[in-house]
Structure 1
Amino acid sequence: MTIEAKICGITTREALDAAIASGADYVGLVFCTKSPRHLEIDEASELARHARGRVKIVALTVDADDATLAQIIDEVSPDYLQLHGTESSERVAAIKQRFGRPVIKAIAVATSDDAAGAQQYAGSADVILFDAKAPPGAARPGGHGRTFDWNVLNRVAGRMPFMLSGGLGPANVAEAIALTRATAVDVSSGVESAPGVKDIELIRRFLQAVKTAKQG
């Protein structure tokens, strides 16, 4: 089975081209002012134009209101919306219906109960993304380079397709795929030389490791 890969937090055309050339299936554009990877609408729109038709474009938001989402849809036209906040299953369903885009719902995970809670989104989200819970007091929900105990996904592994995130990088992504049986993986800080600065070689190495990985 082919494992899909998403390079999130793309901010430059150089990083975008590297992700596409190395075989990324998705690229993520972040709309979160507290993130070092945040993009203004015009920046994101330019990157999306360059990427369109070459890779799936994901717009990541955190508890965004309808006006913000409408502007992103109108000016960036992503293929997917990624909801990385505290959105309820009802809110996810409403966003999907209103904006007509498939939705990736991020679930913050520290325990097996957190993972099991993803079931409530089964009827609304198109993709579940398991990510590590942010450290206490963090200003944003993701992109901290933290892993979590992958064994807490044992109750869902093999029962539902999901994307895995949280502290992944070239050195551990194959192990993560083998252990969790994730059908897709997502990386941001794990392919950076500094917060928000993508490293071309790390992108290449990460995607090569995903291509050669095998599910357990």
Structure 2
Amino acid sequence: MEREQLIVKVCGMRDAANIESVAKLGVDMIGLIFCRTSPRYVSMVDSLAGFMPNYTVNQLKEMKNPSKSTDIKVAPKRVGVFIDEMPQTIITHVYNYRLDYVQLHGYENRIMIENLRRTIEPDIRRNVKFIKTLHVSTLEDVEEYKDYEGAVDMFLFDTSCRLGGGSGQKFNWDLLKQYSGETPFLLSGGIGPEDVDNIKNFNHPRFIGVDLNSRFEIKPALKNIDLLQEFIQSLRK
């Protein structure tokens, strides 16, 4: 049975032109990091400067004037990444940035996630989905999924590191053979241009996509479009 096309999430974005260029590559998700300690932090200053392309406006323009197409067939989903943030701050960002996904990248517990979902849905924003990052270095780290199974829509398995992410380091993917949960997951942690074959050969019934970040950067928060394009084309052919 042929595997469905893998999801491609590009995380740690901030520059408007760069975001629009990445969107044209057909990626599925754009990750916006709202953690102040990250070099890829998205601040209100960036927002006021119009850092996020307004895809709705672009699509309306395209319908009125097809000759000036934006080349964005489907706008990527917006993922807000938070690390142990206050629930009210997350709710505010979901509303202000029209987030489609909330990625909880710290030590958030199940009760907090369930309460947050109830608060957001449906009054703040409908159909917001939740991703829980699990930081992996041992089999015990993988087993932590049991604390969140049924409370989130997706897991993201990342390398355990002091920085909390964006380290460019891989973990042992073989550890995920022991993952027996029902929740689908994205693979993250140091994935680079040379990993296409490894990803294609990685088999797990719940594996649905990859999360890309530092290995495709010119500098923090600015992605190399050529590298991404080559990687995505190779992954999907």
TM surpasses 0.5: yes
Over 3 Å counting, the alpha-carbon distance change for 1:127 and 1:197 in structure 2 is same
CA contact (8 A) 1:41 1:76 kept: no
* Higher deviation after alignment, 101-110 or 187-196: 187-196
SS in 2 for 1:172: helix
- 1:67 aligned residue (88, 97, 112): 88
Aligned to 2:192: 169
- In 2, distance between residues paired with 1:116 and 1:31? 27
Over 3 Å counting, the alpha-carbon distance change for 1:32 and 1:173 in structure 2 is farther
Deviations 1:168-202 (A, max 9, x none): 01211441342243211101101102333321112
- In 2, distance between residues paired with 1:62 and 1:24? 24
SS in 1 for 2:79: strand
Over 3 Å counting, the alpha-carbon distance change for 1:91 and 1:183 in structure 2 is same
- In 2, distance between residues paired with 1:158 and 1:211? 26
How many residues were matched structurally? 208
* Higher deviation after alignment, 98-107 or 175-184: 175-184
Deviations 1:109-135 (A, max 9, x none): 01122112212211111110000001x
SS in 1 for 2:231: helix
SS in 2 for 1:142: coil
SS in 1 for 2:5: coil
CA contact (8 A) 1:4 1:185 kept: yes
| Runs ≥4 residues deviating over 4 A | 157-160
| Structure showing greater Rg | 2
Question: How big is the alpha-carbon RMSD for the aligned residues of Structure 1 and Structure 2?
Answer: 2.0
Letter in structure 1 aligned against 2:106: G
Please tell me whether residue 125 in structure 1 is matched to residue 152 in structure 2: yes
Gaps of 5+ in 1: none
* Higher deviation after alignment, 200-209 or 76-85: 200-209
Letter in structure 1 aligned against 2:226: E
* Higher deviation after alignment, 61-70 or 199-208: 199-208
Please tell me whether residue 88 in structure 1 is matched to residue 78 in structure 2: no
Gaps of 5+ in 2: 57-73, 122-127
Aligned to 2:40: 37
SS in 1 for 2:193: coil
Over 3 Å counting, the alpha-carbon distance change for 1:34 and 1:50 in structure 2 is same
Aligned to 1:185: 210
Deviations 1:2-50 (A, max 9, x none): 1011000111122212221111000001101111110113534734452
Over 3 Å counting, the alpha-carbon distance change for 1:103 and 1:42 in structure 2 is farther
* Higher deviation after alignment, 63-72 or 163-172: 63-72
SS in 2 for 1:131: strand
Over 3 Å counting, the alpha-carbon distance change for 1:19 and 1:158 in structure 2 is farther
- In 2, distance between residues paired with 1:150 and 1:209? 21
* Higher deviation after alignment, 170-179 or 69-78: 170-179
Letter in structure 2 aligned against 1:155: Q
- In 2, distance between residues paired with 1:159 and 1:37? 32
Deviations 1:77-112 (A, max 9, x none): 111111001111222212222122210110000112
Query: Percent identical across equivalent pairs?
Result: 29
Aligned to 1:148: 171
- In 1, distance between residues paired with 2:158 and 2:209? 12
- In 2, distance between residues paired with 1:177 and 1:122? 26
CA contact (8 A) 2:12 2:40 kept: yes
Letter in structure 2 aligned against 1:143: G
- In 2, distance between residues paired with 1:177 and 1:61? 29
* Higher deviation after alignment, 79-88 or 52-61: 52-61
CA contact (8 A) 1:169 1:191 kept: yes
